[in-house]
Chains A and B, each alone.
Chain A
Amino acid sequence: MFNKSLVKTPIPEQDPKARAGNFSEVALGYTDEQAISEASRCIGCKHKPCVAGCPVEVDIPAFVLKLAAGDPAAAYEIIRSNNALPAMCGRVCPQETQCEVLCVRGKKGDPVAVGRLERYAADWAMARPRLEMAHAAPNGIKVAVIGSGPAGLTCAGELACMGYDVTIFEAFHKPGGVLVYGIPEFRLPKAIVTYEIDGLLAQGVKLASNCVIGRSMSVDELFSDGFRAVFIGSGAGLPTFMKIPGENFNGVYSANEFLTRINLMRAFAEDGDTPIMRARRVAVVGGGNVAMDAARCALRLPGVAHVTIVYRRSEREMPARIEEIHHAQEEGIDFQLLTNPVELLGDEKGWVSAMACVRMELSEPDDSGRRRPVPIQGSRFEIEADCVIMAIGSSPNPLIRQTTPDLQVNKWGCVVADEATGRTEKKGVYAGGDAVTGAATVILAMGAGRAAANSIHQDILAGLI
């Protein structure tokens, strides 16, 4: 029965106070009844505006209507035919700026909760025996995928389905890229990442972990080892600092380092040997999802009494998902907006002790279309902090471009590739995800991985590579 409610069915969540002290997932997922009720809000419009907003073009109304009919198996199959990693996308995609923003129901009231429904279908499937994916006969053609983040996993999965002999090269000891080192457990449980990767391995994808392309091997060596095509999905791993005085004081982390210590190396757990500093007051600089993740991880560490997010524009301009900002606020993180750090201050032993900031005001829009923040004269003040985390962005890792002389990169070090096809100027080399765009989202990287897989297939069929 059609659900006329103007509001989304709320998703059960852990209580903010309780979850601020643990790393378990915040959102608990819909029950069967809640899923059916929310799915029944979809009017199944013919022109499907939501699909156009999805970088991997999931047939959203089709799967939502299956859920409304109480058939999650069919719903999952529809999603899975376009999206290799549904349990992840249901959790971390910015649906509010992609599919949901285009939903007809959103014109008056809330849009259909596409993300929550996708997550429900994926979780339903994960709790049951694994679905066998349709698979072309092996063609024996070797393709190398560099990086096991969302772009690489998607590209590998698509190619494996087409019958290719795919090897993923991963620099870390564990596959998953930003899904394991970056996004925290409470937002994306690692068991889900493991499940999706195990699925790829079961499809016959090979994994070479501990292999740094650009150091252990070069791109050209992959070709001489018999790989016909190479997909670069190495992400944007190089952290950016502000270049303000005091950034090398002890206690100052890049968000990458802080999150890697916690998420990949399990520094928060009793059994993890990797240390993380015992901080009391943490200040995180930045307004993106990574800043929210770092702040919320910090809050969950024992001994941390206060976490501040410092961002130079206002909440409106924050690139983080609204849901993440909201969760961070609920958990008690202090937001110092229109505030910019100018210097980090330290004690006599070289540990950071405070962050000197100035207040900002917004003036004319800049190149990004957002109003440019300018400092207010005489507004300098200090925030006490014994740990500072810089979450102001990252750029692509230099190792591949340094060792692949004929690979074109732009002035930011991003690989130059056609965004629609993933093709680079170098024959047989394709690229996508953050390595091309700079830090962006999981789903855009997945879209790029999928597009590149199709281009590789076309180019091989056409005898171009």
Chain B
Amino acid sequence: MYDIIEAMRYNPAVKRLTVNAPMVARRARPGQFVMLRVNDAGERIPLTIAHSDPESGAITIIFQEVGKTTAMLGALDVGDRLLDVVGPLGIPSHLDGMKKVCVIGGGLGCAIAYPQAKALFDMGAEVDMIAGFRNRDLIFMEEEMRAASSRLTVCTDDGSNGNRALVTDILKEYLEQGRAYDTIIAIGPLVMMKYVCLTAKPYDLPVIVSMNPIMVDGTGMCGCCRVTVDGQVKFACVDGPDFDGYKVDYDEAMRRNQMYIQQEERDMAAHRCQGEGQNHV
């Protein structure tokens, strides 16, 4: 069992849990993820490790309550436990030798982009970070991101934070200013990562993206997480999750992420009904 030692809500949908998982914390590197299960009937879901402390044995996960499992996870608090946490899985991000990097996070992707920005910043790299959200209320980790970057720009789709822009608008501005990045790291919705690549392409800068497909085991066993990269089928769990952004088939990945959407909606609705029922008792 994996004890929850800290629980914090960033906004109505996004929550942070710190969990005691020494085996994972001992080796975790930026870009890696865990598979977890909340209870015995529960599904296994992948979540990126936002922070890990080998000394204390704790890892931090940040998630958005989008389905039944993440909703159950969101209902947990300090003193509760997770049934299973496995990891660290996936290949760690290759950050060595990077000197000047633009790290872009979209929505919940900021939680995944943050450890990479922090690792780079701690290595002495110059880190420009761009964080995009739908609106002001959904912004989270702003202070952490600011502390882990040379320059942070937070933008919103609706302008409610006073900076109406898409992350690609900001990136374009930076690139037009002639900022010479070694690499651009983009983590967020598939459509965002796709457009970051289109924006960066004229400047011939490498773009690394982090894929977050549906997974069952996370160790290369099921093939559910397959993504097409440069015409080849790759398993995000063992070959990724980071890939060369220009080579990913985003349209296919978007379709594949929809595979269980109807069942998830039904499970989520049933889960909400159950919750309401319990409130009345």
Contact = CB atoms under 8 A, between A and B. Distances in A.
A386 B202 CA distance: 41
A260 B259 contact: no
B259 to A, nearest CB: 5
Contact of B233 (A209, A216, A247, A253): A247
Contacts of A266: 41
B124 interface: no
A422 interface: no
A210 B44 CA distance: 12
Residue among A173, A181, A209 with max Cβ neighbours from chain B (10 Å): A173
Contacts of A241: 223, 226, 233
A277 interface: yes
A350 B42 CA distance: 28
Contacts of B224: 253-254, 257
Contacts of B255: 250, 349-350
B87 A260 contact: no
A204 interface: no
Interface centre among A210, A248, A251, A256 (most CB of B within 10 A): A210
A62 interface: no
Interface string B17-36: 00000011001000000000
Contacts of A274: 43-44, 216
Contact of B24 (A216, A253, A257, A273): A216
Given A248-B228, A250-B256, A273-B267, A171 B219 contact: yes
A210 B84 contact: yes
Interface of A is mostly: loop
Contact of A261 (B84, B89, B216): B216
Nearest to B27: A216
Contacts of B226: 241, 248
Contact of A216 (B23, B44, B264): B23
A4 interface: no
Contacts, number: 113
A260 B218 CA distance: 12
A211 B84 CA distance: 10
A239 B69 contact: no
Contacts of A215: 27, 87-89, 219
B220 A399 contact: yes
B147 interface: no
A171 B217 contact: yes
Interface in B58-90: 68-69, 83-89
Nearest to B253: A248
Contact of B42 (A171, A210, A273, A277): A273
Nearest to B83: A173
A211 B267 contact: no
Contacts of B83: 173
Contact of B264 (A212, A275, A350): A275
A275 B263 contact: yes
B258 interface: yes
A251 to B, nearest CB: 8
A217 interface: yes
Interface in A286-345: none
A238 interface: yes
A272 B24 CA distance: 26
A271 interface: yes
A118 B129 CA distance: 65
Contacts of B87: 212, 215-216
Q: Which of B27, B86, B255, B256 has the most CB of A within 10 A?
A: B86
A173 B233 contact: no
A157 B157 CA distance: 60
Given A275-B43, A275-B264, A399-B238, A250 B220 contact: no
Nearest to A215: B89
B132 to A, nearest CB: 27
Interface string A148-174: 000000000000000000000001110
A265 interface: yes
B37 interface: yes
Between A216, A237, A250, the greatest number of chain B beta carbons within 10 A of the residue's beta carbon is seen for A216
B198 interface: no
B276 interface: no
Given A173-B37, A216-B23, A216-B24, A248 B219 contact: no
Contacts of B260: 275, 277
A248 B233 contact: yes
B141 interface: no
B8 interface: no
A398 interface: yes
B150 to A, nearest CB: 32
A397 B258 CA distance: 27
A272 B42 CA distance: 6
B41 to A, nearest CB: 5
Contact of A254 (B37, B88, B222, B238): B222
Interface string A378-412: 00000000000000000001110000000000000
A173 B86 contact: yes
B219 A399 contact: yes
Contacts of A173: 37, 44, 83-84, 86
Given A215-B87, A239-B222, A260-B222, A398 B24 contact: no
Interface of A: 171-173, 181, 209-212, 215-217, 237-239, 241, 243, 247-248, 250-251, 253-254, 256-257, 260-261, 265-266, 271-275, 277-278, 349-350, 397-399
Given A248-B252, A265-B44, A398-B238, 16 more contacts: A173-B86, A210-B86, A212-B87, A216-B87, A237-B219, A237-B220, A239-B222, A248-B228, A254-B223, A266-B41, A273-B42, A273-B68, A275-B264, A399-B219, A399-B220, A399-B238
28 contacts: A171-B219, A209-B84, A211-B23, A216-B23, A216-B24, A217-B23, A217-B27, A237-B221, A241-B223, A248-B233, A250-B255, A251-B259, A253-B224, A256-B221, A257-B222, A260-B222, A271-B41, A273-B43, A273-B267, A275-B43, A275-B260, A349-B255, A350-B256, A350-B258, A397-B220, A399-B219, A399-B220, A399-B238
* Interface pairs A-B: 10 shortest CB-CB: A350-B255, A257-B222, A254-B223, A274-B43, A237-B221, A173-B84, A275-B263, A275-B260, A239-B223, A210-B86
Interface of B: 23-24, 27, 37, 41-44, 68-69, 83-89, 216-217, 219-224, 226, 228, 233, 238, 252, 255-256, 258-260, 263-264, 267
